[in-house]
Amino acid sequence: MTNSTPFYTEDHESFRSVVQQFAVNEIVPNIPEWEEAGEVSRELYKKAASVGIFGDGFDEEYGGHGQRDAIVRMIILQELSMAGSGGVVASILSNYIGLPPIQRSGSKEMKSRVLIPCLAGEAVAALAITEPSGGSDVARIQTTAKRDGEEFIVNGQKTFITSGMNANFFTVAVRTGDQGARGISLLLIEGDRPGLERTRLDKMGWLSSDTATLYFDDIRVPTTNLIGEENTGFSSIVNNFNAERIDMASQSIAFSRACYNDALDWSRNRETFGKRLADHQVIRHKFIEMDRQINAAQAWCELLSWRLNQGDNPVAEIAELKVQATTTFEFCARESAQILGGASYLKGSITERLYREVRVQAIGGGSEEIMRDLASRQLGI
């Protein structure tokens, strides 16, 4: 996505060019193969690391860029998303939801052991919060971690876990105390711990992303794997969700533009009733309505990203933006499919792929209904 607003510096635009070329050269040609395989190549992580895609918000001593720049994060998400595969983006960027709690609250030893290989693309991190019994109601987490000397014994299940089949490290929400939010902790669980089993989940969309249910059966984890203090994990989870929501909004806006571009290319080359499809007024109006909604959502996303960089924390507006972005995506996917007609129903097009991925954007990271409710409470309604 090209931009000329004052939110972007020359360094931002230079980095955008790097990510654009990475998406064109390393992602676009391989999407069909990864869709069939149900996962991306592990080599992609190393290539992404080599151009700095994993470093935003992580300390330089562990291979990161340093302080988080929300504009950089938006550029990464959007330029990768323009390739037209949410599954690829979800896979290679699962580090950005699995690692932030470790960056914020992990011990120095843990940071060295986990961040360095993940930021180098040699390992993959995942976040494990959602359970079969519920998703957004984090305070009801049932997976338990009971102390036994210098270890925790972990039992329970997690589901809908992005990179769940291939992750080397899991940041896991567990119950270490009483019921409710005050009894929740975050625990690092390595993927090769005895007692961990994984089952792949088949999905409607995000086919390039390996998604799994995790089973913890008497897994023994040292207490040194505790991320932050015991029974203080809830606030870290909530903070993680806020970043995840603006990330998903950024993606949804770029997916909307990818649908627009796919339909525009088709309409300029397709002839109906003696003229290009793009020359019919009803089709031109569809493009204008798509463009109007995309531009509005993009402007809001840029503003909120800039405000995050100023130290602001616009929780309500980020929740509202996610709704705006996902409803825009749903509208654009539908209109693009209408313009492509029967071609949109054949596998292989950007529109067909993204149409199947609308729902996960509208649900993941907090559903539209949860976002509206959260925003209303933040606004004191």
Residue that wins the pLDDT comparison between 125 and 232: 125
pLDDT at 135 exceeding the cut of 70: no
Q: Average pLDDT, stretch 144-154?
A: 96
CB-CB contact of 166 with 40 (8 Å): no
What's the whole-model pTM score? 0.93
Q: Average pLDDT, stretch 166-195?
A: 95
Return the bridge partners of 173, or none. Answer: 186
Residue that wins the pLDDT comparison between 231 and 1: 231
Q: Average pLDDT, stretch 43-71?
A: 95
What digits encode the pLDDT tens for the residues 265-297?
999 998 888 889 888 999 999 999 999 999 999
pLDDT at 2 exceeding the cut of 70: no
Domains, the chain, ordered by start:
10-119 (1.10.540.10), 125-231 (2.40.110.10), 235-378 (1.20.140.10)
What digits encode the pLDDT tens for the residues 220-254?
999 999 999 999 888 888 888 888 999 999 999 99
Q: Average pLDDT, stretch 137-151?
A: 91
- What pLDDT does 189 receive? 98
Nearest residue to 118 via CA among 68, 195, 217, 188 = 188
Maximum C-alpha span of the chain: 80
Mean pLDDT, the chain, whole residue set: 94
- Among left, alpha and beta (phi > 0; psi -120 to 50; other), residue 3 is beta
Return the bridge partners of 186, or none. Answer: 173, 227
What digits encode the pLDDT tens for the residues 251-270?
999 999 999 999 999 999 98
- What pLDDT does 348 receive? 84
- What pLDDT does 23 receive? 97
pLDDT at 134 exceeding the cut of 80: no
User: Per-residue confidence at 137, pLDDT binned at 50, 70, 90?
Assistant: confident
297: tokens are 């959502």
